[in-house]
Structure 1
């Protein structure tokens, strides 16, 4: 077992695990080293033990507790990024590239600058990269991000009324699928299964195990089953009310059976 906390990068919003042997206070700030520079991050969970095989292969390294100087450098970097935003947008405009600038961020050690953007397709930004290198006079990392990652940067409130999971505690995005939407009784066409990013909600993954376990006791929608009143087709199931709506052969109105009635007849 490995003792870890979750940390959130102050500039990029990236959430990751950090291995720690000593307790780090919740909401305290630390300096950590990633494969690409040192960063100021906030501890967002209490320490807990997790099996090593459930953790990413490469975790950031703890450097020190954040000092006043670290905050000063981070604030200076943030101000420089804000000042450069309009200039970078102008360089993009001159390059005639169809891309939207999202963030500019410097690590504490300022060994490079990370620039993220969105675009509908692939972008050939080689010319822009040369212009940016001349402007910043340091190594440039240009990264195209998708709508999920963009929502993670900007944040917001989800349909549940709480802050978006991706911008608060999620590290990697969990896998979600249309099958989960169907299992949880949501309409695919209504958009109720989509988050602010326009893609399937990450929280569909949280409840999928419950729905799969509960649905194991029910027949599938569309399946022909035998009931106490004859054979019929399953029109719908309600795992919370534990009922099954069935269209019986020759019947005008569907009949609703309880799960107990279905199981006892079977």
Structure 2
């Protein structure tokens, strides 16, 4: 077991485990010594023991608590990054590259500049990279974001009216599949299943296990069943309501029945 501390480098960044040098309080600011320069981070998870098998081989270490000077440098870097953002945006246009600039972040000592962008496919940014390195006088790291990561950076409101899960509490994106949509009896043709990123909503994965366990108690649509009103065929399921819609053989109607009122024929 290894004692680790959970931090975020940015307000909407992923939870990252680092090796602590001492105990820290939640929301306290610390300086992390990474391979790509020192970075300011905020503690979001108290130190705890974690199995080494669940941790990356290389982990950054906490250098110490952030001083007032560290915080001032961080805020100065934000202002410099805003100016640098506009310059980089102009360079992308000048090079005619099909890139959408998303974010620009300095390492605390400005030895590295982290630049994220979105693009439809692969981009040959070698000539741009040379100009960036010459301008910033620092190591440049260009990272291409996918649609989910882009939505996480921008944030926004989901169909539920709350802030996007990815930009608030999600550390990593959960796997989401068409099968989850089917399990929850949702329409595959509806855009209501799509998040701000245009992909299936992450929250579909939150309830999938509940739906799968409940679904095992139900017969499939098209199954012949017996009810108190006679034999019929299942035409619809309401998993949460524990009811089925049955089209009766002897009557030209479809009726709703509780799950306990239905028996599979044969």
Give TM-score, length-normalised by structure 2: 0.87
Provide, for residues 86-130 of structure 1, a one-character-per-residue CA deviation record: whole Å limited to 9, x for no partner: 111111111111211111111123222111111122211122112
Q: Are 1:95 and 2:72 an aligned pair?
A: no
Q: CA deviation at 1:82?
A: 0.8
Please say if residues 3 and 21 of structure 1, whose CA atoms lie closer than 8 Å, have aligned partners that are also in contact.
no
Judge which range, 150-159 or 113-122, deviates more.
Answer: 150-159
Please say if residues 228 and 265 of structure 1, whose CA atoms lie closer than 8 Å, have aligned partners that are also in contact.
no
In the superposition, relative to structure 1, how do residues 95 and 222 fare at CA in structure 2: closer, same or farther (>3 Å)?
farther
Equivalent positions of 1:1-266 (< 5 A) are 4-10=4-10, 13-20=13-20, 23-47=23-47, 50-262=50-262
In the superposition, relative to structure 1, how do residues 51 and 224 fare at CA in structure 2: closer, same or farther (>3 Å)?
farther
Show structure 1 runs of 5+ residues with no match. Answer: none
Judge which range, 156-165 or 199-208, deviates more.
Answer: 156-165
For the residues of structure 1 that align with 2:57 and 2:209, how far apart are their CA atoms? 26
Provide, for residues 168-203 of structure 1, a one-character-per-residue CA deviation record: whole Å limited to 9, x for no partner: 222211111111122123222221211112211112
In the superposition, relative to structure 1, how do residues 21 and 256 fare at CA in structure 2: closer, same or farther (>3 Å)?
farther
In the superposition, relative to structure 1, how do residues 212 and 11 fare at CA in structure 2: closer, same or farther (>3 Å)?
closer
Provide, for residues 141-184 of structure 1, a one-character-per-residue CA deviation record: whole Å limited to 9, x for no partner: 11111121112112222233332221222221111111112212
Please say if residues 18 and 62 of structure 2, whose CA atoms lie closer than 8 Å, have aligned partners that are also in contact.
yes
In the superposition, relative to structure 1, how do residues 21 and 230 fare at CA in structure 2: closer, same or farther (>3 Å)?
farther
For the residues of structure 1 that align with 2:260 and 2:116, how far apart are their CA atoms? 55
Provide, for residues 215-248 of structure 1, a one-character-per-residue CA deviation record: whole Å limited to 9, x for no partner: 1111123334444555433222112221111223
In the superposition, relative to structure 1, how do residues 186 and 68 fare at CA in structure 2: closer, same or farther (>3 Å)?
same
Q: CA deviation at 1:264?
A: 8.8
For the residues of structure 2 that align with 1:12 and 1:226, how far apart are their CA atoms? 53
> Number of aligned pairs?
266
Partner of 1:203, secondary structure, is helix
Judge which range, 43-52 or 234-243, deviates more.
Answer: 43-52
In the superposition, relative to structure 1, how do residues 19 and 130 fare at CA in structure 2: closer, same or farther (>3 Å)?
closer
Please say if residues 227 and 263 of structure 2, whose CA atoms lie closer than 8 Å, have aligned partners that are also in contact.
no
Q: CA RMSD in A?
A: 2.6
For the residues of structure 1 that align with 2:18 and 2:244, how far apart are their CA atoms? 47
For the residues of structure 1 that align with 2:116 and 2:176, how far apart are their CA atoms? 24
Give TM-score, length-normalised by structure 1: 0.87
